[in-house]
Amino acid sequence: GQQVMQIPQYQHVQEGEDFTTYCNSSTTLSNIQWYKQRPGGHPVFLIQLVKSGEVKKQKRLTFQFGEAKKNSSLHITATQTTDVGTYFCAGNTGGFKTIFGAGTRLFVKA
Amino acid sequence: DAGITQSPRHKVTETGTPVTLRCHQTENHRYMYWYRQDPGHGLRLIHYSYGVKDTDKGEVSDGYSVSRSKTEDFLLTLESATSSQTSVYFCAISSGTSNTGADTQYFGPGTRLTVL
């Protein structure tokens, strides 16, 4: 079945350092979504990418969708303590089911 | 936050007992989902619903059943709870209006279930 792999599982950074999480799908995706979950909270939608090679930015966050629509990345520039949490990618191949990656948990040391 | 509530928020039960979790939405969204979250596994889809009385299985549906008799309510039942079903359960909703596949999903606050 469809699988979405996400790496790394954990990342510890010093405040101000950059952070990147990567997502790879075993199949071509119609779109990919990114969510953030704060510790003890629920996942919250960040963004959706649809087009091949698409790049979107939200302040310090940059999201990319690969040309083959099988991989994606989230890059955070100059992390802050408010960036702490787990970041999930979620891939969709059509229909209304999405497959979530296992998530990357980000720790930021002040 | 979207209008989604889950009840109960915490539950401790014993192996072999039935358990029902409730998800209630006030957004009139068509699609509703039940996920479980376990360390190292992210969010795994248990069941989902695409309309009243219309449901389908997800990737980890064994041992779970669902019902949706009204647009606003989606129930998840563990017919005979086992320790492997100890988890955090999230309900999510989406409008189903996207023409590019899945819509944004809005998640409820979660239910922490412990099966002893």
| SS3 per-residue string spanning chain B | CCCEEEECCEEEECCCCCEEEEEEECCCCCEEEEEEEECCCEEEEEEEEEECCEEEECCCCCCEEEEEEECCEEEEEECCCCHHHCEEEEEEEECCCCCCCCCCCEECCCEEEEEC
Q: Is A88 on the interface with B (CB under 8 A)?
A: yes
For residue B45, list chain A residues with Cβ-Cβ distance below 8 A.
97-100
- Find tokens 């954990």 and name the residue: A10
Cα separations in angstroms, A29 against A2, A24, A71, A77, A80: 10, 10, 9, 26, 31
Distance, in Å, from the CA atom of A5 to the CA atom of A90, rounded to the nearest integer, reads 10
Q: Is A94 left (phi over 0), alpha (psi -120 to 50) or beta?
A: left
Per-residue pLDDT at A62: 98
Q: Do B42 and A88 touch (CB under 8 A)?
A: yes
Record: contact B48-A45, CB cut-off 8 A: no
Query: Over its length of 110 residues, how does chain A's per-residue pLDDT go in tens digits?
Result: 668 999 999 999 999 999 999 999 999 999 999 999 999 999 999 999 999 999 999 999 999 999 999 999 999 999 999 999 999 999 988 777 788 999 999 999 99
Spatial separation of the C-alpha atoms in residues A74 and A65, rounded to whole Å: 9
Q: Give chain B positions within 8 Å (CB) of A96.
A: 31, 48, 50, 94, 96, 101-103
pLDDT digits (tens, 9 = 90+) for B19-57: 999 999 999 999 999 999 998 788 999 999 999 999 999
Interface residue of B23, B50, B107 to substitute, partner A, most A CBs within 10 Å: B107
Q: Which chain A residue lies closest to B34 (C-alpha atoms)?
A: A97
Give the best residue of B27, B43, B60 to mutate against chain A (max A CB count within 10 A).
B43
Q: Is A61 on the interface with B (CB under 8 A)?
A: no
**Of residues B42, B103, B107, nearest to A102 (C-beta):** B42
Q: Of the given ranges (A63-67, B31-35, B60-64, B99-103), which has the lowest mean pLDDT? A: B99-103
Please indicate if any CB of chain A lies within 8 Å of the CB of B107.
Answer: yes
B42-52 pLDDT per residue, tens: 899 999 999 99
pLDDT at residue B42, rounded to an integer = 87
| pLDDT surpasses 90 at B97 | no
Q: What's the confidence (pLDDT) of residue A24?
A: 97
Which residue's structure tokens are 């320790």? B83
Nearest to A63 by CA among A42, A95, A35, A102: A35
